[in-house]
């Protein structure tokens, strides 16, 4: 493959070199995010063992709503996608000092605003909890939720600052230290619960949230940013043109309803009208589903984005389309894996959660919710890629508008689902919203970016669905008839069933991929066999 000419605005790197860098970055982020999700499951397992589905767990989950909203208002979770294009332009123009100046302005002004908002939210916590969990009037629930909300609130400042510190590392193609942030964060929560839970109950986990955010998302990322040359000092230049550019990019994200944000809010809001314990069960099921999503989607989205931004800066739209389509095809592999997970959903919930105060009834209810949530796993994985195509072109308006419309359309599904199916209906609504959003936004991208290869992506996803449906049915039948004698009341029995069903599912996926010519799956198999042969 020939090199790309080093014309103005073009990256002289070979496409194969970019591909290798994307692959390495994806590998680092995939390892980090997958480990963080595993640690997240360990965290949830500890919570389940300590408190089960007690009212204190519902209160702990609800305590995150106000911080999540504040985080969303400041677009802290979008710092990488909004700040990277701005900072990358300065690096491309060899104006690094001005890039650090802009970063200092954003951190100073928005950080100060965040401090004020945190103070207001702490004072108004009782009224906010009443507004956001209107279906619960239990005084114990409310007092616990308010107290833990106030403990968790300051962590949002650490997330905001750390997001900027991580963004500048991404622009330098440094992924390792940002990859440590979620691991340290989850470790802090686990240690907080283990060390303080005996005396403080669920409040110990809340203190762990604060400590983990400070250590992993702020201090560690500050060190990483300094190591790539960050220069920060407080600046209040309100008139800087790139501060206005940053605000214009961020405003749609502040007021839009993203997929993950709406899920976190609506799951608790509608769950508050269900009997106590259902908020906790929905959250437990979401964590298992998101572990699968993280392995396939989130890591690829974070790793691909700096390269999409680079292509966008050089106005290289065909290469953006090619990279985005390739990433989406790899993400499509989540569909058959979700089918396997759905077949062993009861066993997964048992293995992760059922001990001490988490009962068999909790396992059955959580597994039912998980089965419906897994229908939307591909949506959550896909949105990590599709939205970033728009963000790389500094267009945050279109994905926000269409994403928000998809969320609003899903509201009746939440309402009807909650009333007719209870917590399982909320799982259906979450899955529907996720798939509807990513499909709609991808269609908009294809029209805007003239993505002529999108039909091949749709065809690939049709193949994945055609593989997943019979895979699920065969695995359920295999478990029901061939493994019926195994005792599913023990840890060993559930582990054995999960392993046997997983092994059969893997063989069927490999065979199906070979027959259908699914190169992405075949490449994974070849890589795995090559490594085994080398060893």
State the pLDDT confidence band at 1, using cuts at 50, 70 and 90.
Answer: very low
List pLDDT tens digits, range 364-380. Answer: 999 999 999 999 998 88
Indicate if the pLDDT at residue 7 is higher than 70: no
Q: What is the pTM of this model?
A: 0.78
Predicted confidence band of residue 530 (pLDDT cuts 50, 70, 90): low
Which of 415 and 83 is assigned the larger pLDDT? 415
Using a pLDDT cut of 90, give the percent of the chain over it.
31
Q: How many CB atoms lie within 10 A of CB 103?
A: 25
pLDDT value of position 2: 32
Consecutive H or E run containing 201: none
Crossing angle of helices 125-132/96-123, nearest 10°?
90
In this model, does residue 137 exceed pLDDT 80? yes
- Which range is least confidently modeled, 323-327, 477-481, 505-509? 323-327
In this prediction, residue 148 carries a pLDDT of: 95
Summarised one tens digit per residue, pLDDT across range 156-178 is 999 989 888 888 887 777 778 88
Q: 176 phi and psi, to 5 degrees?
A: -65, -50
Report residue 101 as tokens: 């100046």
C-alpha distances (whole Å) from 331 to each of 281, 367, 384, 468 are 27, 24, 10, 14
Assign 252 to helix, strand or coil: helix
Helix (H), strand (E) at residue 235: none
Q: Which of 21-30, 138-147, 411-420 has the lowest mean pLDDT?
A: 21-30
Q: Is the pLDDT of residue 6 over 50?
A: no
Q: Please count the helices (runs of H) and the strands (runs of E) in the chain.
A: 25, 0
For residue 480, what is the DSSP state?
A: I
Residue 109's pLDDT is 87
The region, left, alpha or beta by phi > 0 then psi within -120 to 50, assigned to residue 179 is: alpha
What integer pLDDT is reported at residue 528 of this predicted model?
A: 62
What is the pLDDT averaged over residues 317-345? 88
CA distances from 343 to 145, 485, 502 (A): 35, 17, 9
pLDDT for the residue 4: 32
Best CA proximity match to 475, nearest among 292, 330, 334, 338? 338
Question: In this structure, what token pair is assigned to residue 14?
Answer: 């070979």
- DSSP letters, 429-444, are HHHHHHHHHHHHHHHH
Q: What's the whole-number mean pLDDT along residues 496-519?
A: 86
| DSSP 8-state symbol, 2 | P
Cβ-contact 297, 381 below 8 angstroms: yes
Q: How far is CA 367 from the centre of its chain?
A: 21
Across the range 219-245, mean pLDDT stands at 83
**Cα–chain-centroid distance for residue 407?**
17
Q: Any idea what the Cα angle at residue 435 is, between residues 41 and 515, rounded to 5°?
A: 85
In this prediction, residue 12 carries a pLDDT of 43
Reported as half-sphere exposure (CB side, CA atoms, 13 A), residue 72 has a value of: 20
Nearest residue to 200 (alpha-carbon basis) of 65, 60, 352: 60
* pLDDT score at 219: 93
Summarised one tens digit per residue, pLDDT across range 73-122 is: 765 555 556 677 777 777 767 777 877 888 888 889 888 988 999 999 99
d(CA 503, CA 266): 36
Tokens of 287: 């964590």
| DSSP character string of 273-341 | TSPTTHHHHHHHHHHHHHHHHIIIIIHHHHHHHHHHHHHHHTT-HHHHHHHHHHHHHHHTTHHHHHHHH
Count other C-beta atoms under 10 Å from residue 115's C-beta. 13
Q: Look at residue 9 and tell me whether its pLDDT is greater than 50.
A: no
Q: DSSP for 73-128?
A: HTTGGGHHHHHHHHHHHHHHTT-HHHHHHHHHHHHHHHHHHHHHHHHHHHHTHHHH
**What average pLDDT is seen over the chain?**
83
Query: What is the structure's pLDDT at 200?
Result: 87
């Amino acid at each position: 493959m020939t090199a790309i000419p080093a014309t103005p605005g073009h990256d002289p790197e070979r496409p194969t070199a970019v591909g290798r860098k994307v692959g390495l970055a994806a590998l680092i982020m995939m390892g980090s995010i997958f480990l963080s999700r595993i640690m997240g499951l360990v965290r949830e397992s500890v919570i389940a063992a300590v408190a089960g589905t007690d009212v204190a767990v519902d209160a702990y989950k609800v305590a995150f709503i106000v911080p999540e909203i504040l985080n969303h208002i400041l677009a802290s979770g979008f710092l990488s996608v909004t700040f990277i294009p701005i900072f990358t332009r300065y690096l491309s123009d060899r104006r690094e000092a001005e890039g650090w100046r802009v970063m200092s302005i954003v951190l100073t002004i928005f950080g100060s605003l965040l401090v004020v908002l945190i103070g207001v939210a702490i004072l108004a916590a009782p009224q906010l909890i009443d507004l956001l969990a209107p279906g619960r009037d239990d005084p114990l629930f409310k007092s616990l939720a308010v107290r833990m909300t106030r403990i968790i609130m300051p962590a949002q400042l650490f997330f905001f600052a750390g997001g900027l510190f991580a963004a500048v590392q991404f622009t330098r193609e440094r992924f390792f230290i940002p990859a440590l942030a979620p691991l340290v964060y989850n470790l802090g929560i686990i240690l907080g619960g283990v060390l303080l839970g005996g005396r403080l109950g669920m409040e110990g986990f809340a203190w762990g949230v604060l400590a983990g955010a400070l250590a992993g998302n702020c201090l560690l990322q500050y060190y990483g940013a300094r190591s790539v040359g960050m220069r920060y000092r407080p600046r209040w230049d309100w008139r800087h043109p790139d501060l206005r550019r940053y605000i214009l990019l961020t405003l749609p994200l502040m007021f839009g309803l993203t997929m993950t944000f709406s899920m976190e809010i609506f799951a608790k809001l509608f769950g508050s009208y269900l009997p106590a314990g259902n908020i906790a069960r929905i959250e437990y099921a979401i964590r298992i589903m998101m572990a699968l999503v993280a392995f396939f989607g989130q890591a690829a989205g974070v790793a691909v984005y700096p390269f999409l931004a680079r292509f966008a800066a050089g106005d290289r739209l065909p290469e953006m389309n090619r990279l985005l389509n390739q990433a989406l095809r790899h993400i499509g592999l989540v569909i058959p894996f979700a089918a396997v997970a759905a077949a062993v959903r009861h066993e997964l919930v048992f293995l992760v959660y059922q001990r001490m105060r988490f009962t068999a009834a909790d396992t059955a209810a959580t597994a039912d919710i998980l089965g419906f949530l897994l229908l939307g796993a591909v949506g959550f994985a896909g949105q990590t890629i599709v939205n970033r195509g728009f963000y790389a072109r500094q267009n945050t308006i279109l994905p926000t508008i269409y994403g928000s419309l998809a969320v609003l359309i899903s509201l009746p599904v939440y309402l009807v689902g909650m009333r007719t199916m209870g917590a399982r209906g909320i799982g259906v609504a979450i899955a529907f919203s996720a798939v509807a959003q990513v499909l709609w936004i991808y269609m908009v991208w294809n029209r805007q970016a003239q993505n002529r290869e999108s039909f091949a992506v749709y065809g690939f996803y049709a193949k994945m669905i055609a593989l997943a449906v019979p895979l699920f049915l065969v695995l359920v039948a295999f478990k029901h008839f061939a493994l019926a004698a195994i005792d599913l009341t023990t840890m060993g029995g559930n582990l054995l069933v999960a392993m046997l069903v997983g092994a059969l599912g893997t063989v069927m996926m490999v065979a199906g991929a070979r027959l259908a010519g699914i190169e992405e799956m075949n490449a994974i198999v070849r890589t795995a066999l090559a490594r085994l042969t080398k060893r």
